[in-house]
Amino acid sequence: MSHIDATINDGIMTLRLNRPDKMNAITAAMYADAAAALTAAEQNKDVRTVVITGTGDVFTAGNDMKDFLDDPAADPNSSVFQFMRTLMKFSKPVIAALNGIAVGIGVTMLPHCDLVYAVPGTYLQAPFVNIAIVPEFGSTLLLRRTIGLHRANEMLLLGEKISAERAREFGLVNDIFPAEQFMVMVMEKAKTLAAKPPMALRQAKQLMRGDLGEISARMTLENTMMIERFTSPELQEAVQAFLEKRPADYSRFG
């Protein structure tokens, strides 16, 4: 059963993370399905823009930890890395609709989206270092560019929760819409994009994104370090602490 729903209406593909019982935590199979859906949207001339959102009141809790521990992305061709490369290169406008909390890749994908909207009460968290791995998806380059070095450090080094209101102040979120009208207002933005001349819009996006080679190189470096982290004693302690439901103790590592 796929937990990625992709529907097309009026030139808009809605790509929905649909695993609400697990807070829309993303598995390797979901990454593969999401990459395939984006590839299909890229090739479909009737799709003018994409909206990525979640089911229920959560955008995504990030990686599914059990899936991650059972099958870590230890290969550059793993589905999570394929999804990252596909979204990075996607030429059409993408809107991220944060219908609730966004954790991990739910945060690091945002600089690859062209517009970001959230509901009140949403928080964002990128706790990679907290679990003894490194940030991914080009976030060490793109978040610094988007919100500045010290705010990026607050998110990526401290791993602190950031409210949607604060993320809007940072420039990471465009606007906050009332929950009861959220998707209606998001879809109005998507319809506005879908009605524009498609090639002009795609070229404008290309110019705004800048050098994809630099972003790709940073993603490759992050992914290499991530794979190295999978065999580190620090990660082994993080995993053991997770399984034992206790705080991790990194005091013996130097």
Instruction: Write down the pLDDT at residue 2.
Output: 77
Instruction: Write down the pLDDT at residue 233.
Output: 93
For β-strands 12-17 and 58-60, DSSP reports them as: unpaired
pLDDT tens, position by position, for the chain (254 residues)?
A: 579 999 999 999 999 999 999 999 999 999 999 999 999 999 999 999 999 999 999 999 999 988 877 777 777 788 999 999 999 999 999 999 999 999 999 999 999 999 999 999 999 999 999 999 999 999 999 999 999 999 999 999 999 999 999 999 999 999 999 999 999 999 999 999 999 999 999 999 999 998 999 999 999 999 999 989 988 999 999 988 988 889 999 999 97
Instruction: Write down the pLDDT at residue 78.
Output: 87
d(CA 64, CA 24): 8
Distances (CA, A) of 151 to 25, 133, 145, 159, 246: 25, 19, 10, 11, 29
CA nearest to 134, candidates 106, 105, 102, 110: 105
Token code pair at residue 23: 């807070």
Instruction: Write down the pLDDT at residue 239.
Output: 85
Instruction: Write down the pLDDT at residue 1.
Output: 56
Token code pair at residue 246: 């206790």
Instruction: Write down the pLDDT at residue 34.
Output: 97
Instruction: Write down the pLDDT at residue 9.
Output: 96
**For the chain, which domains are there?**
1-179+197-254 (3.90.226.10)
Phi/psi region, residue 210 (left: phi>0; alpha: psi -120 to 50; beta: rest), is left
What is the signed CA dihedral for 85, 89, 92, 97, rounded to 10 degrees? 40
